[in-house]
């Protein structure tokens, strides 16, 4: 069987030639594989995290320690997905900017902050969740993720309110597998 790039090519949702390590704010959504509700449930208008959901929350909150150039904004763990804002600050002392490294475009792309942060979250949460569930090697997350470059304060405020309202809007959320029709 020969690989057919026309048949198996996945369209990138990334902005072509955009440097995802440059200072700015980014909205990220990561969805579980098959939209399976792995992280807890919403009861009486509150998200009740289970052990898997607490792992996602803990890994998310540990990110600024690992990546000192980022700050975390609003975030929420939902039953089958996660939303969060990442703010990339100017590079602190000791961090080499991506543009200063002369490597192949693929290797340089892999050094970009947002894909690295999302990859770290997905890899470490999946590993820890699979350990507690006894399901090593089983994918927890969908292959890709959604990211949006936040361009101004108005957009940042709108996304912040969206994240805050996510729990109360769960009943009608497209990610809710039992959404009311």
pLDDT tens across 99-154, in order? 444 444 444 444 578 999 999 999 999 999 999 999 988 999 999 999 999 999 99
Per-residue model confidence (pLDDT) at position 96? 46
Q: Contact at 8 Å (CB) between 33 and 80?
A: no
Between 20-29, 51-60, 170-179, the lowest mean confidence (pLDDT) is in 170-179
- What's the whole-number mean pLDDT along residues 59-63? 97
Between 15-19, 84-88, 94-98, the lowest mean confidence (pLDDT) is in 94-98
Per-residue model confidence (pLDDT) at position 32? 97
Burial of 83 (0-12, 13-18, 19+ CB in 10 A): buried
pTM of the model: 0.81
Per-residue model confidence (pLDDT) at position 129? 97
CB atoms within 10 A of CB 46: 11
Q: Which two tokens stand for residue 22?
A: 């440059």
Task: Give the pLDDT confidence of 76-91 residue by residue, as tens digits.
Answer: 999 999 999 999 987 6
| 3-class secondary structure per residue, 114-141 | HHHHHHHHHHHHHHHHHHHHCCCCCCCE
Per-residue model confidence (pLDDT) at position 137? 86
Q: Which two tokens stand for residue 169?
A: 């809007």
Q: Contact at 8 Å (CB) between 99 and 19?
A: yes
Beta strands in 15-173 (DSSP E): 24-31, 40-43, 46-49, 70-77, 81-88, 146-150
Distance from C-alpha of 98 to C-alpha of 21, rounded to nearest angstrom? 7
Per-residue model confidence (pLDDT) at position 176? 84
Distance from C-alpha of 139 to C-alpha of 97, rounded to nearest angstrom? 32
């Amino acid at each position: 069987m020969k690989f057919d790039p026309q048949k198996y090519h996945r369209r990138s949702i990334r902005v072509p030639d955009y440097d995802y390590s440059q200072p700015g704010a980014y909205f990220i959504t990561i969805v579980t594989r098959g939209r399976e509700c792995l992280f807890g449930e919403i009861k009486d208008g509150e998200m009740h995290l289970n052990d898997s959901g607490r792992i996602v929350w803990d890994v998310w909150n540990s990110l600024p320690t690992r990546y000192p150039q980022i700050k975390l904004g609003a975030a929420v763990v939902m039953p089958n997905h996660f939303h969060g804002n990442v703010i990339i600050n100017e590079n602190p002392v000791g961090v080499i900017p991506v543009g200063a490294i002369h490597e192949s475009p693929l290797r340089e792309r892999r050094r970009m902050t947002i894909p690295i942060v999302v990859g770290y979250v997905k890899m470490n949460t999946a590993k820890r969740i699979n350990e507690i569930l006894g399901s090593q090697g089983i994918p927890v997350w969908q292959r890709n993720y959604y990211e949006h470059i936040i361009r101004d304060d108005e957009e940042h405020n709108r996304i912040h309110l969206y994240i805050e309202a996510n729990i109360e809007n769960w009943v009608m959320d497209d990610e809710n597998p039992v959404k009311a029709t």
